[in-house]
Amino acid sequence: MSVDESLALIRDAVRRQLGVDRPPAADVDPATLTRFSAELPAELEADERAHLEARARELDPWLQGPFLLGGDLVIGGTWRNDQRWRAFGERVPERLDGERVLDVGSNAGYDPFMFHLRGAEYILACEPFDFHRQALFLEELYRTGIDFRQIGWEQLDPIEHGRFDLVHCHGVVYHEPHPLRMLQRLREMLAPDGELFFGSMMLAKTELSEYIRFVPGSYFGDPTWWFVPGRIAMRWMLEATGFAVADEFGIAGGPPGEFPVINGYFRATAAEPDPLLTARA
């Protein structure tokens, strides 16, 4: 499948969810945005601005953001990652100097760029879909040295890639037909004294928190949703695959689909997995 065909499929999915295949950039004040590079120009010449706008349009739809490209030019931000970081950033160490960070499902790279600002020594950012091209475009401007790769969790290998002091995965597990296998792989990638920050959509109703709902069709127009766990069920899945949950935070409303969901984070450390799972590995 060509890049254009891949982006066309993404635009079709976005159109079903949001009513447009190219959602507009967030209406934000550029002066308030995080600068992912100190070298961004304070002003853009007309030709350079037009060039950046054209390149960004080629990579639509932009879901992550908002990203400042220089001057007052802002791209993307449908998901408003800057707002998610208000709660998430309070839990992540202010300084990550000397640490290795793994980001799984990095999309356009907002989270890896934030980890870089906090001083991480090495960041491996994994995105299997063509949102990866957006991250490469931004990296041309920000020049952070982040290792952006177009791979999924299945290609991660602790022997090849090493283990990581901080593993971050947000908004991925409910798209996976084999969620326990994915969690097991994240556990393999975590250093013995490392931390996992794991975010997911979950069932909003408290009385369903111990359940998992299978999604046979789609959710909010997105056919890649396979299941949605309740909060306690998600915690049990993490514990079964070898994580000790230390904290839950950042609970917020999810997209308005066919049943109510919430979005939230778990912070966990390495523990022993259920021996029944390891016996079948």
Residues 71, 42 contacting (CB under 8 angstroms): yes
Report the distance separating Cα 10 and Cα 13, nearest Å.
5
Domain end residue (candidates: 75, 90, 115): 75
Q: What is the pLDDT of residues 224-245, one digit of tens each?
A: 999 999 999 999 999 999 999 9
Domain enclosing residue 257, as ranges: 81-279
Q: Which of 32, 52, 75 is the last residue of a domain?
A: 75
Domain CATH code at residue 247: 3.40.50.150
- Is residue 3 pLDDT above 80, yes or no? no
Round to whole Å and give the CA distance between 83 and 171. 15
* d(C-alpha 88, C-alpha 261), whole Å: 19
Could you say which of 75, 97, 120 is where a domain stops? 75
Same domain, 105 and 67: no
Whether residues 153 and 273 share a domain: the answer is yes
117 and 172 in a single domain? The answer is: yes
Give the DSSP H/E element, type plus range, for residue 270.
Answer: strand 261-270
121 with 24, same domain: the answer is no
156-189 pLDDT tens trace? 999 999 999 999 999 999 999 999 999 999 999 9
Shared-domain flag, residues 237 and 252: yes
Query: In the chain, what is the straight-line distance between the N-terminal and C-terminal CA atoms, in Å?
Result: 32
**Of 122 and 61, more confident:** 122
Residues 230 and 211 sit within 8 Å (Cβ to Cβ): yes
Q: How many domains does the chain have?
A: 2
Q: Does a cis peptide bond (omega within 30 degrees of 0) precede residue 61?
A: yes
The amino acid that residue 231 corresponds to is R
